[in-house]
Homo-oligomer: A and B are copies of this chain.
Amino acid sequence: MENFELTILGCGSAMPTTRHYPSSQILNHRERLFMIDCGEGAQLQYRRNKIKFTRLQHLFISHLHGDHCFGLIGLISTLGILGRTSELIIHAHSDAERVFRPQLDYFCRDLPFNVRFNAISTNQNEMIYEDKALKVSTLPLRHRIPTCGFLFEEKEKERHLIRDMIQFYNIPIRELAKIKQGEDFITPEGLIIPNERLSRPADPVSRYAYCSDTIYQEKLIPLIEGVDLLYHEATFAEDNKARAKETFHSTAVQAATLAQKAHVKKLILGHFSARYQDDSIFLQEAQEIFPHTIIAKESMQIRF
C-alpha cells in the first residue's frame, strides 16, 4: 500500500530547456499536497498534470536561486484568482520574505488568503512541520548559498485491531485506542491479554528525502539512512566532475554513492544541466554503483 505519490513538475537546472522545466515537485500524502521548490512555470505544470490547486498545503523552498523559486509569485497570484482562503505557508530561508513580500504587496494586493513565511534554518537538521500523520525536517546541504533539503517522514502508525479477538474478549470501546498504540489488555478478572493477540502490526511508515542543490557530502548519510525514496541532484555526469565541485553540485555517480552508503531503497536523479541532450548518461553512470536508480522526467509519478 502506497503512502506517498511524488509528481515531478520540473527536473531541469538553471536554464529551462524544451526538455525540462526548472525544479518543482508535488508530494501527495493522503490527498494533502506538499510542494517542493517552485521554478518558473510550476503553475503551468499544475494544469498539465491536473494537480488540484486547492489541495496545496505547504510549500518548501530549498534555496533562493531563481530556478527553484521564480514560479512562486505566479502560483500565488493564481491561487488568489481561484479564490483560495486558507493560509499558505512557505518554508524557506529568511531572505524569502524580504524578497517576495514586496512583490506580493505590489502584484497581489487583494489576495483572499494569507501567505506566511516560515524562516527555516538551512544548516541544521530541524523539524519544521508536523501534523497527525507526517513530519518534515530540514537536511543541511552545501551549495553556493544557504540551502537545505527536506525529509518527509510518516509518523508511527496505529496497529490494526483484530476484530474477532476484540469481540471475543468483549473489550470496551474506550480501551481500543490504547490497544492500537500497542498496549496489552487486562480483563476485569485480571488476566493479561498480550497486544499481539489483539492487533496486527501497523503499516510500515514511508520516508522521502529531497536533496537539491548540493555538493556531495557524506554527513547526509545518517539523516537519510534507509529512506524509501531519495531524490538527489545530479546536475552533471562524470565528464564534468570538476565543474560539479566548482559550482557546488553533484554528479550522478556521487548521488548513487550516497544512495548506496545510506542504504536507501530507491534513488531518483534530477536537476540535470541543460548541456546534456540525453539524460540516459546519468542513469548509466549511477546504475553502475546503485542499481535501484531511476531518472526524473516531467509528469513522472512515483508511488511509495
Contact = CB atoms under 8 A, between A and B. Distances in A.
Interface of A: 14-18, 21, 40-41, 43-44, 47-48, 64-66, 70-71, 73-74, 77-78, 81-82, 95, 99, 102-103, 106-108
B16 A43 contact: yes
24 contacts: A14-B81, A15-B78, A15-B81, A16-B43, A16-B47, A16-B74, A18-B47, A18-B48, A40-B40, A40-B41, A40-B43, A40-B44, A40-B71, A40-B74, A64-B106, A66-B73, A66-B74, A66-B107, A70-B73, A70-B74, A70-B107, A99-B103, A99-B107, A103-B103
Nearest to A40: B74
B102 A106 contact: no
Contacts of A64: 106-107
A74 B42 CA distance: 13
A29 to B, nearest CB: 26
A65 B107 CA distance: 7
Contacts of A77: 14, 66, 70
Contacts of A70: 73-74, 77, 107
Given A40-B41, A64-B107, A103-B103, 10 more contacts: A14-B81, A16-B47, A18-B47, A40-B44, A40-B71, A40-B74, A41-B44, A66-B74, A70-B107, A99-B106
A95 B106 contact: yes
A148 B102 CA distance: 24
Contact of A47 (B17, B44, B66): B17
A46 to B, nearest CB: 9
